[in-house]
Structures are given as structure tokens and as C-alpha cells.
Amino acid sequence: MALLPILRVEPADLPPLAIVCGDPFRAEVIAGKLEEARELAFAREYRTFIGVYQGMKLAVVSHGVGCPGAAVCFEELIKAGVTTIIRVGTAGALSGGYRAGSLIVSTAAVREEGLTKQLVPSSFPAVADSEVTAALYKAALEAGAPSSVGKGITLTVDAFFSGVVELPHETYKRAGVIAVEMEIAALYVIASLRGIRAGAIVALDGDSTEVDEAYDPHNNIVAEAVEAEIRAALNAMVVLAGERG
């Protein structure tokens, strides 16, 4: 069969379960937890590994930064037969008193990005699969995060650094949205449109209102939180594989 045109992977090589993340280096770190790990391709920002975790076959794929590029990854994985996707990401804190090192399971995403508006009207929700959310939240509580664990609505935006237009962070902070990142809305909308299940967990790497001035995610607390969310995602996948695969 032909390679997936952008991921450059043979569809038949992909199992039905996939963990995705923005950073190709993080994909390598996650693949390092697998047995028989094998890198299938590294094309553009998309780095694809397969391997085995507790007897379960799993793909690990990086999707880069932002919804348009990530959507390409999600769509190609789904075309290849992937039926469960968990995003393992980082995000900035917005509300709820969570701080760097906390883990947040995203139950739904605010669609403050451009990609999904080209797929479906804005009134369509970006919502996680309830089985994936439940498995992720339980696994996150057991994963030994350096700070607290929460679940709730997250915000997806396109702009990481602000320009002259005010970003919507403060509005959604007042609405109780917990964290802000850049791809979950695309994942949830595409998963709903294509009939697969998806969920997401993010490690908070700082306060999103200080992103321009003081953003520095390279510290031990964030690294520990990312390790904890990887454990949580892998263990949640084991539960989900048992339910459906």
C-alpha cells in the first residue's frame, strides 16, 4: 500500500492506538518507554514510532505546533485505521489555582483557532471522548505528578506570542477555563467528525498570562510533570485497549 503522503508511513504498520505530542523529541522520549520501539519515519515535524507497552501495540507520533499542521497528522492517522488518540502536551495555566507541574485532563476545548472553522460551523463542540477522559484522569491521579491533577475545559489558540490584538485568555480565565494550548480543539473536532475516540492530557509549564515576558518551560518541575503525564497516557491506553482497542 502507498505511504501516507505527509507522515510518510505505511498505513498497515500503524496499530489502532496512538499517542501524539507536539515535539518530535518528546515522541522519542515516549517511544523510549516502549519495547521493540522502531522509528518508522521523520518527515517535516512528524516523527512516527511504533512499539509495545504491556503487550499493547502503540504508535507515538509528533504533530508539531498549531492546529493546521496537527490536523494533517490526525487525519492521516485516522485514514490509516487509528481509532484512539491521546494527546500528551504542555499548556499554560489560566484558572483553578493550578501551577507549573500540574497535570490537566482536557474534557473539552474552546475553539479559538482557525482550522476547525474550515471543517464545521463554530457552534459544533470540541469535546473529548468520555472513556478516554475517565481512563486518563484515573491514570493521572496515580502517576505521581509534582503538583496537583485536575480536569476541565481547556482553550486552544493559534497565537503563542501576542501582537497588537488582545488574546482571549482573560475572558476564558473568567469563565473557568483551566489551561491554554494550541492543538486540542483540532483533535476533538476531527475525532468527532471521523468517529474515533480522543482525549488529551497537558502538563502546565507556567502562567499563560506571562508567556511573553517570562516563558521558560525548561526546568525540573515541568520535566517531571511531562514524565508523569507520559506514564498516565501509557497506562490509560492499556485500560482503553482492554475496552475496545
Ligand X SMILES: O=c1cc[nH]c(=O)[nH]1
CA-to-CA distance for 73 and 27, rounded, in angstroms? 13
CA-to-CA distance for 8 and 75, rounded, in angstroms? 13
Smallest gap from Cβ 160 to ligand X, in A, equals: 6
> By CB under 6 A, what part of segment 182-221 binds ligand X?
182, 205-206, 208, 211
Determine if 82 is a binding residue for ligand X (CB under 6 A).
Answer: no
Among 84, 90, 106, 116, binds ligand X (CB under 6 A): 90
Annotate 51-96 with DSSP letters as a single string.
Answer: EEETTEEEEEEE--SSHHHHHHHHHHHHHTT--EEEEEEEEEE-ST
Determine if 75 is a binding residue for ligand R1P (CB under 6 A).
Answer: no
Provide the grid cell at 160.
503563542
Q: Return the closest-CA partner of residue 33 out of 218, 245, 238.
A: 238
Q: Which is nearer to ligand X, 69 or 92 (CB)?
A: 92
> What, of ligand X, ligand R1P, none, does residue 180 touch, CB below 5 to 8 Å by kind?
ligand X
Determine if 180 is a binding residue for ligand X (CB under 6 A).
Answer: yes
Smallest gap from Cβ 185 to ligand X, in A, equals: 12
Is residue 207 part of the annotated active site? The answer reads no
Q: Are 31 and 39 in contact (CB under 8 A)?
A: yes
Q: Which is nearer to ligand R1P, 22 or 199 (CB)?
A: 22
Determine if 22 is a binding residue for ligand R1P (CB under 6 A).
Answer: yes
Smallest gap from Cβ 65 to ligand R1P, in A, equals: 4
Cα dihedral 47→141→237→31 (10° resolution): 30
Instruction: Name the catalytic one among 23, 205, 207, 216.
Output: 205
Residue 60 CB neighbours (<10 A): 30
Determine if 159 is a binding residue for ligand R1P (CB under 6 A).
Answer: no
Q: Which is nearer to ligand R1P, 22 or 51 (CB)?
A: 22
- Which positions ≥6 away from 146 have C-beta within 8 Å? 101, 221, 224, 225, 228
CA-to-CA distance for 197 and 134, rounded, in angstroms? 12
Number of residues engaging ligand R1P in binding (CB under 6 A): 10
> By CB under 6 A, what part of segment 172-201 binds ligand R1P?
181-183
Cα dihedral 131→203→228→19 (10° resolution): 50
Q: Which is nearer to ligand X, 11 or 24 (CB)?
A: 24
Q: Which of 220-244 are b and which e, b meaning 16 or more Cβ less than 10 Å from the residue's Cβ?
A: ebbbbbbbbbbbbbbbbbbbbbeee
Determine if 226 is a binding residue for ligand X (CB under 6 A).
Answer: no
Kindly list the residues in this chain that would bind ligand X in the complex (CB under 6 A).
90-92, 160, 180-182, 205-206, 208, 211
Tell me which residues touch ligand R1P (CB under 6 A).
Answer: 21-23, 65, 89-90, 160, 181-183
